[in-house]
């Protein structure tokens, strides 16, 4: 380590207990996307306490703080996510929200806080030839889809995830490079410079006609039967998906019938359709639409299909060595693994949207046990969970901005965006569609006589 790197790590070590307390507080008070008011408030208070210019209520709950007002240097954004997952059975779930941080976002947020503490130190700041933006962003997890559809209809949001909204609103226009983190349960650190799936979401409603299921079933139109046919039709499409596209189609019944002896008149489904490329999941989405229409046509149900844009696939950068170097400085006996552009993950996230427009650097660290996105995820090593991410965030920012910001500029110059912001918005808007098919009620049997 050089003297400034050592200084950064020592500052963070001195604030170790503060960071652990902050991370555990967020862990015990998880909130769901676009509703993270307490979490955002706690982060904003910390940023203001460091004397940083801070903006709040961005895309409802986002918090954006600036290290300085330097103009002309690269702007490096250290980003953490505010939201948890709807897992009310987790032992540390927030009883007021039903949310739990089974995604480890509380560790990201703590890491950004720790980096802000270190980089705002008066002995460190002069070595940063550029600006650092500390950004707490809402709604990475694409959950509560029906609620987000309602929020869209109310004009509160336009897209379903926080970074997508922030891009649309122009709140990321002054950022040159984004640095992100994810928690893991593995005993290793990872340079996460791989590709991943993108996806779209479908909200489907079958409208039937209620009737007494035992006494007069011929008077009804069974929306559950339509949904059953549609779901089977989706299943028989799967052999048409190319293996190379890593397509994933998964859904569930978000609203079922009222009782076994009532013909169901309102059945709702939600589907996520993922793929390695935009064309692959658009194609799969059209096949899901076709399957829904088949179920409605067979039974005579009305049908509505609302398509919402999800996230885009991640575009790796050409050189992520700065991440590997930062991890190596703090890894000790923990192995550092490099996941490069040839690797692919079938999961998704709204960092993909960011990476389509600007360079994205990502790293993973541990500190948790169990399985992510399940009720059995638990904190394990508190230093790994909360202190190490802070050091890595800060070290990456320093390495990018020292010496005139030459490494940051090299990454920016070599990056080939696949979309401009304007083309990104146009693409997202093209995925916002609604299709309605009216109910097709045949005359009752008695009318034929």
Residue 145 has pLDDT above 90, yes or no: no
Q: What does the alpha-carbon distance between residue 206 and residue 266 come to, in Å, rounded to a whole number?
A: 6
Cα dihedral 319, 322, 323, 325 sign:
positive
| Polymer length in residues for the chain | 449
| Helix, strand, or coil (residue 79) | strand
Give the tokens for residue 217.
Answer: 């079933």
Continuous segment of H or E residues that includes residue 379:
strand 378-379
Write down the pLDDT at residue 85. Answer: 97
Mean pLDDT across the stretch 190-198?
96
The DSSP code sequence of 236-277 is HHGGGS-GGGT-EEEEEEEE--S-TTB---EEEEEEEEEESS
Residue 157 three-state SS: coil
According to the model, what pLDDT value does residue 208 have?
96
In the numeric block, the tokens 């802070």 are attached to 390
**What count of other Cβ atoms lies within 10 Å of the Cβ of residue 25?**
14
Which among 317, 281, 298, 330 has a CA at the least distance from the CA of 411? 317
pLDDT 10s digits, 208-228: 999 999 999 989 999 999 999
Model confidence, pTM: 0.92
pLDDT at 290 over 70: yes
Cα–Cα distance, 431 to 289 (Å, whole number): 13
Provide mean pLDDT across the span 379-401: 97
Alpha-helical segments (H) within 81-222: 105-119, 145-153, 162-169
Check whether 359 has a pLDDT greater than 90.
yes
Distance CA 195, CA 352 (A): 9
Sheet containing 360-365, strands listed edge to edge, beginning at the edge strand earlier in sequence: 53-58, 62-66, 131-137, 75-81, 177-183, 360-365, 189-192, 336-339
Mean pLDDT calculated for residue range 406-433: 96
Give the Cα separation of 449 and 446 in Å (integer). Answer: 6
Q: What does the alpha-carbon distance between residue 162 and residue 438 come to, in Å, rounded to a whole number?
A: 34
Average pLDDT, the chain: 95
Spatial CA neighbour of 397 closest among 131, 135, 173: 131
Confidence at residue 48, expressed as pLDDT on a 0 to 100 scale: 98
**Up-side HSE of residue 103: CA atoms within 13 Å toward CB?**
28
Concatenated DSSP letters of 143-154: --HHHHHHHHHT
Q: Pick from 44, 49, 40, 110: which is nearest to 78 by CA?
A: 110
Question: How far is 398 from 76, CA to CA, in rounded Å?
Answer: 10
pLDDT in tens, 103-115: 999 999 999 999 9
Per the CB < 8 A criterion, the answer to whether 205 and 387 are in contact is: no
In the chain, the percentage of residues whose pLDDT exceeds 90 is 93
Query: What confidence score (pLDDT) does residue 146 get?
Result: 84
List CB contacts of 112: < 8 A, sequence separation 6 or more.
Answer: 43, 78, 79, 80, 134, 135, 136, 390, 393
- Residues 360 and 178: their CA atoms lie apart, in Å, by 5
Q: Are strands 248-255 and 198-207 parallel, antiparallel or unpaired?
A: unpaired
Residue 72: CB atoms within 10 A of its CB come to: 9
Closest CA to 363 of 386, 389, 382: 389
pLDDT at 447: 65
pLDDT 10s digits, 309-337: 999 999 999 999 999 999 999 999 999 99
pLDDT band at 94 (very low <50, low <70, confident <90, very high): very high
For residue 30, give the nearest of 78, 96, 79 by alpha carbon.
96
pLDDT for the residue numbered 446: 66
Tokens matching residue 69: 């007002």
């Amino acid at each position: 380590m050089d003297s400034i790197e050592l200084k950064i790590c020592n500052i963070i070590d001195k604030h170790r207990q503060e960071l652990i307390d902050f991370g555990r507080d967020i862990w015990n008070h998880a909130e769901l996307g676009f509703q993270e008011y307490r979490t955002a408030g706690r982060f904003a208070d910390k940023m203001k306490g460091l004397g940083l210019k801070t903006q709040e209520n961005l895309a409802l709950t986002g918090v954006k703080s600036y290290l300085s007002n330097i103009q002309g240097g690269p702007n490096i954004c250290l980003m953490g996510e505010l939201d948890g997952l709807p897992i009310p059975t987790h032992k540390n779930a927030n009883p007021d929200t039903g949310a739990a941080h089974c995604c480890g976002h509380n560790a990201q947020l703590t890491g950004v806080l720790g980096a802000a503490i270190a980089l705002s130190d008066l002995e460190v700041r002069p070595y940063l030839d550029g600006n650092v933006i500390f950004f707490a962003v809402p709604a990475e997890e694409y959950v509560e889809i029906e609620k987000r559809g309602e929020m869209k209809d109310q004009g509160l949001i336009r897209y379903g995830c926080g970074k997508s909204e922030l891009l649309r609103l122009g709140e990321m226009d002054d950022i040159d490079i984004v640095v992100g983190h994810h928690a893991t349960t593995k005993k290793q650190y990872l340079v996460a410079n791989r590709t991943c799936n993108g996806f779209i979401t479908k909200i489907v409603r079958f409208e039937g006609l209620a009737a007494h299921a035992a006494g007069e079933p011929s008077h009804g139109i069974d929306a559950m039967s339509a949904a059953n046919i549609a779901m089977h039709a989706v299943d028989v499409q799967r052999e048409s998906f190319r293996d190379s596209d890593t397509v994933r189609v998964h859904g569930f019944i978000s609203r079922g019938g009222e009782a076994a002896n009532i013909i169901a008149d309102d059945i709702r489904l939600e589907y996520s359709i993922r793929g390695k490329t935009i064309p692959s999941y658009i194609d799969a989405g059209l096949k899901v639409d076709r399957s829904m229409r088949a179920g409605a046509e067979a039974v005579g149900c009305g049908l509505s299909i609302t398509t919402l844009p999800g996230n885009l696939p991640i575009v790796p950068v050409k050189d992520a060595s700065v991440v590997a170097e930062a991890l190596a400085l703090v890894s000790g006996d923990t192995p550092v693994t490099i996941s490069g552009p040839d690797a692919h993950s079938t999961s998704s996230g709204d960092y993909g949207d960011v990476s389509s427009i600007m360079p994205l650097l990502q790293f993973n660290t541990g500190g948790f046990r169990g399985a992510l996105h399940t009720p059995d995820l638990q904190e394990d090593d508190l230093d790994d969970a909360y202190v190490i991410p802070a050091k890595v965030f800060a070290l990456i920012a320093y390495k990018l901005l020292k010496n005139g910001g030459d490494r940051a500029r090299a990454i920016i110059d070599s990056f080939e965006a696949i979309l401009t912001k304007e083309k990104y918005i146009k693409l997202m808007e093209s995925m916002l569609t609604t299709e309605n098919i009216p109910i097709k009620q045949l005359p009752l049997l008695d009318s034929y006589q």
